[in-house]
């Protein structure tokens, strides 16, 4: 059980770091560009809140999301396709189908381990 908690805390830290990086990149933009990104910013904030406070993860989902440099972007991009979807369904679909692995960069250590196999 402790291993699961450690993994979940690691995922939460990664999501929070991804969000901090996102905010920093947005704050470098001019006012009009930030205004134009309002819907995207709202979606990112909604996903961060959901992923860090609400979603109940299975260990296999955490393991999958931790493979990515930016699991937040992975979920946000899928969510923005249909913002009427329930976030639970978005996260579950991404983790269940593993259909995003070719589109988003893995963490370097993960990629190296997979190439050795």
**Each residue's pLDDT tens digit, 68-117:** 999 999 999 988 887 777 888 888 888 877 655 567 778 776 555 554 44
Give the pLDDT mean for 55-69: 93
Give the pLDDT mean for 52-73: 93
Instruction: Classify each residue of 84-102 as buried b or exposed e, where b means 16 or more C-beta atoms within 10 Å of its C-beta.
Output: eeebeebbeebbeeeebee
d(CA 105, CA 117): 18
pTM for this model (two decimals) = 0.78
User: Can you give the pLDDT at residue 90?
Assistant: 83
Q: Residue 62 in 3-state DSSP?
A: helix
Q: Which of 70, 27, 67, 81 is nearest to 48 (CA)?
A: 70
List, in sequence order, every residue forming a beta bridge with 107; answer none if it has no partner: none
Q: Could you give the dihedral angle defined by the CA atoms of residues 12, 101, 84 and 38, in that order, rounded to the nearest 10 degrees? A: 70
Q: Which of 56, 64, 55, 70 is nearest to 16 (CA)?
A: 70
Average pLDDT, the chain: 87
């Amino acid at each position: 059980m402790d291993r699961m908690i450690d993994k979940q805390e690691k995922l939460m830290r990664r999501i929070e770091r991804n969000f901090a990086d996102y905010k920093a990149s947005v704050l470098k933009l001019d006012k009009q560009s930030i205004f134009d990104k309002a819907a995207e910013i709202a979606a990112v904030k909604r996903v961060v809140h959901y992923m860090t406070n609400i979603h109940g993860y299975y260990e296999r989902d955490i393991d999958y999301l931790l493979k990515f440099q930016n699991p937040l972007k992975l979920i946000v991009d899928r969510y923005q396709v249909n913002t009427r979807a329930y976030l639970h369904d978005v996260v579950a679909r991404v983790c269940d189908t593993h259909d995003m692995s070719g589109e988003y960069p893995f963490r370097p250590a993960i990629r190296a381990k997979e190439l050795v196999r």
